[in-house]
Amino acid sequence: MGDLKLPAIDYGALAPMLILFGVACLGILVEALAPKKSRQAVQLTLSFLAIIASFVAVVVQHSTRKITIGGAVAVDGPTVFLQGAILALGAVSLMLIGERTIEKGGAFVSQAAITVGSQKDLRQAGDQPGATEVYPLTLFALGGMLLFVSANDLLTMFVALEVFSLPLYLLCALARRRRLLSQEAALKYFLLGSYASAFFLFGAALIYGFAGGISFGAVHDAVANPQRSEVLLYAGLALVAIGLLFKAALAPFHVWTPDVYQGAPTPITALMAACTKVAAFGALLRVLYVSFEGVRWDFQPVLGVIAVLTMLVGAVLAVTQTDMKRLLAYSSVANAGYLLVGVLALNEEGLSSTMFYLVAYGFSVLAAFGIVTLVRDADGEATHLSRWAGLGRKSPLFAGTFTFILLAFAGIPLTSGFTAKFAVFGAAVEGGQTWLVIFGVISSMLLAFPYLRVVVLLWLSEPGESTPTVSIPGFMTAAALTIGVIATFALGVVPAPLIDLTRDAAQFVR
């Protein structure tokens, strides 16, 4: 037998992921060996240092354009930009996760194995410190997202999908209060996510049967010059798309979103709303733009219908919600539809505008969920809309901040929401998808109603006896809110630097 030649490992390309995975493993050792009193400070410090070091590693390779690790990982403009976006949004999410002053012990249960409703459960809900396992789990999830957006073959993409999904399933179940709701949300997310992963893997097998390879370059070449039955191609593409559409919360694969967003600890909901959406759309962009560009006329109408359905379902069902987290969940669904409109432009402008939208929406939604963590009563977060009545009179600063974020979601000028929608709709018109823009504008008008209803509730309703207080934010929550609001305003007033950055990054390598 001849010598088996293994592909050379490019540690520079893998550095951002290796840093996060390495520090996550170190965090597990901290859990096992460090004194309980010092774990919170150690884990939080390690997590921030890991994200900063990983971000530096991403910046260092900003001009790199290559396919490496035996064709498994692509380092190009979209990879670098999306990895940087995930890390920036992940750092802000970590500020919300690390907050321990708003509620004594934080948002997380002290021991996940404690029986719900037992005396131990009541004691841990009162004053015991929250679990610090959330930090290594968060780093594992972020590391998987970095790999997900850089994967250059279907098998690597599937592995990355599982690496970032499994920690999220666990994190969703770790709420300090309303634990049954939290565990139900985690179970729903796990079961439906498992089905989606199975669809993705089955689709990858069919595409391998069609192309004779799983790398995106091989699939692209096979699509351009088909040698086998195209039934395998279209069936495989449909199944892979189902797996990706589930993670992106696009209709009709969005049904998990409101339940999981409502039940998960709010900092984890914020992490999923911002970072998971970047990862899911980053992977969808690479699959459609690199592998299946040759059959664009076949999948464009189908995904266009899904985009319309997503926008309308998100907008209409948001109107009927009475819980703030569920309202933001359906808002997230509708925004996924707007993002898909940008994706389906299938041109360079569509790619750059989608990446801009992901960053703009990510910072806004983190600020929104940050404010949700502050509106509390004796039982924890008060998320029912009726409880928010008159909050503007009791706490005008935070009500004003939330109003500004809601106006950004509605796409009012001088906010990042307006700039982002204008960018994706402009790209869609340029790409010949004007019909999608028409539905996008109609759904935006519908979606403005629940936002404005909340604004009216905050400012024009009388506060009642049951109106909760707005807690004074701790340093990290205040920092997260400040960053989110400044980004939302800055990207609405001076979006040019980020738009230029996305345009420079809008080129995949094959």
How confident is the prediction along the chain (510 residues), in pLDDT tens digits per residue?
445 555 566 777 889 999 999 999 999 999 888 888 888 899 999 999 999 999 999 999 887 788 888 888 999 889 999 999 999 999 999 999 998 887 777 778 877 777 777 777 777 666 777 788 999 999 999 999 999 999 999 999 999 999 999 999 999 999 888 888 899 999 999 999 999 999 999 999 999 999 999 999 999 999 988 888 889 999 999 999 999 999 999 989 999 999 999 999 999 999 999 999 999 999 999 999 999 988 888 899 999 999 999 999 999 999 999 999 999 999 999 999 999 999 999 999 999 999 999 999 999 999 999 999 998 887 778 888 888 888 888 889 999 999 999 999 999 999 999 999 999 999 999 999 999 999 999 999 999 999 999 999 999 888 777 778 788 888 999 999 999 999 999 999 999 999 999 999 988 877
CB 309 within 8 A of CB 251: yes
Q: Does the residue 230 lie in any domain?
A: yes
**Tokens 């703030």 identify what position?**
324
Q: Does the residue 2 lie in any domain?
A: no
Q: Does the residue 447 lie in any domain?
A: yes
Q: Does the residue 5 lie in any domain?
A: no
H helices present in 249-381, as ranges: 256-263, 266-271, 277-286, 296-319, 324-343, 348-372
Q: Does the residue 391 lie in any domain?
A: yes
SS3 215: strand
Q: Which amino acid is at 237?
A: L
CB 153 within 8 A of CB 146: no
Q: Does the residue 3 lie in any domain?
A: no
Q: Does the residue 21 lie in any domain?
A: yes
Range of the domain at 452: 11-505
SS3 323: strand
Q: Does the residue 4 lie in any domain?
A: no
Total structural domains in the chain? 1
